[in-house]
Amino acid sequence: MEITKTRCLIIGSGPAGYTAAIYTSRANIEPLLIEGYQPGGQLTITTDVENFPGYPEGVTGPQLMEDLRAQAARFGADIRAGYVNEVDFSSRPFRAVTDNGLEILADSVIICTGASAKYLGIDDEKKYNGMGVSACATCDGFFYRGKKVAVVGGGDTACEEALYLSNLASEVYLIVRKDYLRASKVMQQRVFDKTNIQVFFNTNTAGLYGEEFVEGAHLVEHIGTDKENRFDLPLDGFFLAIGHKPNTEVFSKYIELDETGYIKVNGAGTSTNVPGVFAAGDVADPNYRQAITAAGMGCKAALDVERFLAEQN
């Protein structure tokens, strides 16, 4: 097994990881970044990004990530392929092992492993990913102005997504598998008060259809009962809002998580319960989940690392 040492190990890429690499590299910390299973993160499966500063004409998700990666590499970041599948944060230097046989000893760590959107598990979600299927209304809603969209989910997040989309789309259908909304009463009332939001209770999604892009959904009301009713709903966009799962399993032995698995950071900073280990991006942010906020946290984590290392020295 190859062993390497670094002053700062960045686990994960995406806007948070690459931005942390840019800042730590410019501070002469010479970080080592392990990109993970999906180099560039969730934005690599996003078509157009129009809300990231500096791109007045918009940019594709993959190109944005390639630009950030190239900027980090320009300043000397050591960027490597691989997935960290084992860590030991019980003492410094911290230890991490990748799936391709690299053992890393690090004076500090920034965790940027992100969060994965939960999907229904139907094959059509993958088929139309980026072609009408999205897990972020704030990111992609702009492309559905004046069109018909559906949001799947019954909690606060789903209601927030539906309300956001209702200001852009002509019609919003909220698909709820239960006979009630789990969202707070305030959010429920806001949804019911919106004239262009229609709620389908007791409804499951059986599939999607369309030649190249999503053109509609196959829905089932009262599935498995004597009232079962199958019908097709014409759509232009299909949004998942059934939650996100932070990628924190490998760290759970050492890092304090909240009740849904997100890393807890201290106050407005990025430090965790383990001194010298920091977290940035969606892995520590259940609220905003935007590329620009992830990049901002990556910057903060890098500055926190710089201060930590200076204090240790």
Active site (catalytic) residues = 136, 139-140
Distance CA 63, CA 153 (A): 31
Can you read off the two tokens belonging to residue 291? Answer: 């590329």
Secondary structure of residue 184 in the 3-state scheme? coil
Secondary structure of residue 68 in the 3-state scheme? helix
Whose tokens are 């905003």? That residue is 288
Can you read off the two tokens belonging to residue 180? Answer: 């009630």
Q: In angstroms, what CA-CA distances link 43 with 36, 39, 88, 126?
A: 14, 10, 29, 15
Distance CA 225, CA 235 (A): 26
Distance CA 165, CA 219 (A): 20
Amino acid at site 84: V
Within 60-148, residue ranges assigned H as helices are 61-74, 123-127, 137-140
In terms of Cα–Cα distance, which of 28, 9, 41 is closest to 295?
A: 41
Contact 130, 213 (CB under 8 A): no
